[in-house]
Amino acid sequence: MTLKPAEKAALDQWYCIDAVADIPPGPSTNRLLGYDLAVTRKGEDFAVTRTDTAAALPTRLRYGYLWTTLGEPARDVLPIPEADEEDRRLVVCGAISVKSSAPRVVENFLDMAHFPFVHTDILGSEPHTEVLHYTTEIRRDIDEVWATNCQFFQPQAALSAKEGIMTQYQYRVADPFAVLLYKTCPNSTNRWDVICLFVQPVDPEFCRAHPVMFLIDEVSTVTELVAFQQVIFLQDRIILENQRPLLLPLEPRAEIPTRADASSVAYRRWLKEKGIVYGTTAQAA
């Protein structure tokens, strides 16, 4: 199968390519959208260039990560206001490689229906399997996809949770390959825990997922928090790597959605509107 190279819409995005703490001093390599990159670190200064052309790429340091772009984004790296709140803990969870397309990973993050079956006795359990009605919208003023009024019974919604609760959720797709989850905070009744997944499309059917959390949790250790999140994502990886096709179908009726898939339907429609092809079956057209 021949796949087209990354289109302008995909190139014109900011991408997280590594946690700052994981980038060694001196030269190292990386890859984004099918292009090899050279990364150079001198203290807290970073340079990223395309290996094939030696062209210098823009960089940003945000949320504990190094970001770059192969194109000309219309706006800066996505804003996360909660990241500036002094009492929140920044928890960088390490990169996880996935043999799947980046949009498949984003869509899996949006899916609540798999909680009882994939994350059994953590994010869900039988007989609590119903996905209750929730609201989805494409917010045109900020060009993002949101799912609100989401709720799901969870035996252990967070590492600090002491018992099962009906967890409230909001999902935010801020960029084609960056998705955020706002969920009930067990330690503060009027605030949200924030879990982000920055997905780096390495190649059409291979990506690196970068989970990061902004939590209100003064008790758990960083090691415990990272381990909890990695258990969740490694359970997801098994499902993702066995989905077929690995590329996300954008054709109508290629996959039959249910009521629970409203966020996925909105996400796919939004990708088509934006002209995003990379990691979808349209890339093979």
pLDDT value of residue 117: 45
What pLDDT score does 235 carry? Answer: 80
**Cβ-proximal residues to 178 (8 Å cutoff; 6+ apart), any chain:** 16, 78, 106, 196, 197, 198, 199
Question: Using 50, 70 and 90 to split pLDDT, how confident is the model at 237?
Answer: confident
Q: Using one digit for the tens of pLDDT, what is the confidence trace for 195-231? A: 999 999 999 999 999 999 999 888 788 888 888 878 7
The b/e string for 270-282 (b: 16+ C-beta within 10 A; e otherwise) is: bbeeeebbbbbbb
pLDDT tens-digit series, residues 53-110: 999 999 999 999 999 999 999 999 999 999 999 989 999 998 999 999 999 999 988 8
The rounded percent of the chain whose pLDDT value lies above 90 is 60
Percent pLDDT > 70 in the chain is 85
Query: What is the CB neighbour count within 10 angstroms for residue 77?
Result: 21
The residue ranges of DSSP E strands in 114-243, in sequence order, are 135-139, 144-154, 165-175, 178-185, 188-203, 206-215
Q: Which residue has the tokens 């993002």?
A: 144
**Coil, strand or helix at 229:** helix
Of the CA atoms within 13 Å of residue 55, those in its CB half-sphere come to 11
User: When comparing pLDDT for 27 and 120, which is higher?
Assistant: 27
Length of the chain: 285
* Reported confidence tier of residue 15, pLDDT bands at 50, 70, 90: very high
Grade residue 20 by pLDDT with cuts at 50, 70 and 90: very high
Q: What is the mean pLDDT of residues 2-31?
A: 96
pLDDT of residue 119: 45
Confidence band of 243 (pLDDT split at 50, 70, 90): confident
Taking 70 as the threshold, does the pLDDT of residue 192 lie above it? yes
* For the chain, the helix, strand and coil percentages under 3-state DSSP, each to the nearest 5: 25, 40, 40
Helix (H, G, I), strand (E, B) or coil at 28: strand
Q: Is residue 161's pLDDT more than 80? A: no
Burial degree of 113 (CB within 10 A; 0-12, 13-18, 19+) = middle
**pTM for the structure as a whole:** 0.89
Tokens of 168: 């409230």
pLDDT value of residue 239:
82
Higher pLDDT, 128 or 88: 88
Q: What is the mean pLDDT of the chain?
A: 87
pLDDT value for 257: 56
31 CB burial (10 A radius; 0-12, 13-18, 19+): middle
Tokens of 147: 């799912």
Cα 212 from Cα 20, distance rounded (Å): 12
> Greater confidence, 230 or 132?
230
Residue 158 has pLDDT above 60, yes or no: no
Residue with tokens 């609100």, as numbered in its chain: 148
Secondary structure (3-state) at 12: coil
pLDDT of 264 higher than 90: no
The alpha-helical segments, DSSP class H, found in 33-134 are: 102-110, 115-118
